């Protein structure tokens, strides 16, 4: 398939190009587009056969449900049974990087929800995403626009690398601002369960809802035969070609270890900006300053992709903290590392 690559400036949206993309979607095609979290691979959410094409293009197991994207929080009414807590969350965090799981209505085919009777809803803030959904006038189902198992795309080029020749069109709209996928919560009565941490942190959710439980799979490996709350939790994610090891210890000790290790094997260190000058002779990627979790979040998936272009025996990185935005980084990195943590 010939994939159209369409450049759109998010600051100066070309509505003619948006309309063309909306037409492709409405005729059952797939269009990848930027959101503020990561790029999404879109299809009309009410079209079961279009949704099936998403699974094929990504090589994704069809029991792993898709998030559906709406233009306004109120549009949830067309696809799900809402509740007052949904609107409290919407008022606080939508449009933005939050996905809410609600009981689904029949307008959403079960192919989109992997057979579940719930649906994941998100109202993105990115101007291109918003314009496409508005123009299509229907919810757009979109998982992250990567091949299944590889890091989510945060640049147009990442999507081109993974999806060229597999889908009708790719909108290149620059870098994703946040760089990690949305926070996913499930509403259980008057409590929330955090299924995937993201830029909307647990502390932020606690401002709206008193009870926010964290699903164990956010930080722990699933036990054998354990059924995850979110099907996506059971799949291998973000796995780089070389094994990733997370280092837990003092910065000085870690630097000493890395320098020794670089003499024994071909390694890459995802290092803090402050460390780069202490690691001369070692292959490093600057992941952002020690206390700048936002930059680290934005750079992580690019760094994992860059690592795949290098011949490496091992990749090392710091074990992130589990508080604030750190929890989202921890969740992605612990999975990319297949839970391999080393005390230094
Ligand atoms: O930031 C994001 O959320 C990006 C952008 C494109 O919106 N999308 C994204 O989608 O990350 P995806 O498909 O890569 O991840 C969605 C996750 C999966 O792990 C899936 O299992 C879970 O959401 N999910 C979807 N529907 C669900 C449901 N009804 N119940 C529980 N988990 C669900
Ligand atoms: Mg994904």
Terminal C-alpha separation, the chain: 49
Structure tokens of 60? 């994704």
Could you give the 3-state DSSP secondary structure of residue 236? coil
Region 86-107 average pLDDT: 98
How confident is the model at residue 270, as a pLDDT? 98
Region 7-15 average pLDDT: 97
Place of tokens 């003092």: 250
Q: Which atom of ligand 1 is nearest to the CA of 146?
A: 14
The CA 312 to ligand 1 mean position distance, Å, reads 31
How confident is the model at residue 132, as a pLDDT? 98
CA 165 to each of CA 162, 168, 170, 336: distance values in angstroms, whole numbers, following the listed order: 9, 8, 10, 27
The DSSP H or E segment spanning 202 is helix 202-206
What confidence tens digit (pLDDT) does each residue in 326-336 have? 999 999 999 99
Whether the predicted model's global pTM rises above the 0.85 cut: yes
Region 314-325 average pLDDT: 97
**Any atom of ligand 1 within 6 Å of the Cβ of 181:** yes
How confident is the model at residue 221, as a pLDDT? 86
Which residue, judged by its Cα, is nearest atom 18 of ligand 1?
A: 232
Residues in the chain: 344
pLDDT over 90 (residue 233): no
**Any atom of ligand 1 within 6 Å of the Cβ of 60:** no
**CA Rg, the chain, in Å?**
20
**Any atom of ligand 1 within 6 Å of the Cβ of 324:** no
Confidence of residue 237 (pLDDT cuts 50, 70, 90): confident
pLDDT over 80 (residue 218): yes
How is residue 16 annotated by DSSP?
H
The CA 258 to ligand 2 mean position distance, Å, reads 31
What confidence tens digit (pLDDT) does each residue in 47-92 have? 999 999 999 999 988 888 999 999 999 999 999 999 999 999 999 9
Select from 42, 122, 153, 184 the residue to mutate for testing ligand 1; criterion: most ligand atoms less than 8 Å from CB: 184
How confident is the model at residue 234, as a pLDDT? 66
Structure tokens of 122? 């998100």
The percent of residues in the chain predicted with pLDDT above 90, rounded, is: 91
The percent of residues in the chain predicted with pLDDT above 70, rounded, is: 99
How is residue 261 annotated by DSSP?
H
**Any atom of ligand 1 within 6 Å of the Cβ of 184:** yes
**Which H, E and C letters describe 86-121, residue by residue?**
HHHHHHHHCCCCEEEEEEECCCCCCCCCCCCCEEEE
pLDDT over 90 (residue 230): no
How confident is the model at residue 235, as a pLDDT? 62
**Any atom of ligand 1 within 6 Å of the Cβ of 183:** no
How confident is the model at residue 60, as a pLDDT? 86
How confident is the model at residue 236, as a pLDDT? 62
Could you give the 3-state DSSP secondary structure of residue 208? coil
DSSP letters spanning 280-341: TTSEEEE---TT-HHHHHHHHHHHHHHHHTS--SEEEEEPPPSSTTHHHHHHHHHHHTTT-E
- Tell me the C-alpha distance between 41 and 3, whole Å: 13
**Any atom of ligand 1 within 6 Å of the Cβ of 146:** no
Confidence of residue 238 (pLDDT cuts 50, 70, 90): confident
pLDDT over 80 (residue 231): no
**Which H, E and C letters describe 125-182, residue by residue?**
CCHHHHHHHHHHCCCEECCECCCCCCCCCCCHHHHHHHHCCCCCEEEECCCCCCCCCC
């Amino acid at each position: 398939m010939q994939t159209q690559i369409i450049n759109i400036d998010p600051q100066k949206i070309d509505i003619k190009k948006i309309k063309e993309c909306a037409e492709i979607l409405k005729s059952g095609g797939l269009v990848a587009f930027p959101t503020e979290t990561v790029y999404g691979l879109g299809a009309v959410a009410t079209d079961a056969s279009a949704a099936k094409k998403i699974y094929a293009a990504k090589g994704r197991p069809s029991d792993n449900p898709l998030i559906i994207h709406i233009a306004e929080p109120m549009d949830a009414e067309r696809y799900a049974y809402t509740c007052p807590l949904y609107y409290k969350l919407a008022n606080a965090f939508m449009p933005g990087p939050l996905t809410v799981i609600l009981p689904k209505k029949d307008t959403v085919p079960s192919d989109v929800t992997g057979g579940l009777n719930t649906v994941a809803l998100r109202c993105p803030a990115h101007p291109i995403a918003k314009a496409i959904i508005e123009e299509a006038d229907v919810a757009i189902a979109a998982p992250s626009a990567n091949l299944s198992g590889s890091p989510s795309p945060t640049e147009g080029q990442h999507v081109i690398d993974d999806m060229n020749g597999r889908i009708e069109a790719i909108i290149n709209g620059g870098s994703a601002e946040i760089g990690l996928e949305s926070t996913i919560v499930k509403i259980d009565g008057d409590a929330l369960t955090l299924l995937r941490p993201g830029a909307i942190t647990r502390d932020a959710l606690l401002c709206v809802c008193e009870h926010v439980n964290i699903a164990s799979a956010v930080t722990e490996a699933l036990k054998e035969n354990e059924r995850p709350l979110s099907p996506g939790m059971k799949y291998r994610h973000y796995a780089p070609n070389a094994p990733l090891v997370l280092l837990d210890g003092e910065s000085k000790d870690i630097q000493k270890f890395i320098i020794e290790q670089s003499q024994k094997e071909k390694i890459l260190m995802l290092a803090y900006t402050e460390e780069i000058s202490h690691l001369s002779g070692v292959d490093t990627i600057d992941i952002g300053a020690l206390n700048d979790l936002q930059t680290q979040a934005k750079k992580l998936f690019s760094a994992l992709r860059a690592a795949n272009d290098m011949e490496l025996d091992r990749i090392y990185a710091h074990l992130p903290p589990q508080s604030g935005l750190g929890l989202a980084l921890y969740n992605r990195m612990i999975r990319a590392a297949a839970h391999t943590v080393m005390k230094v």
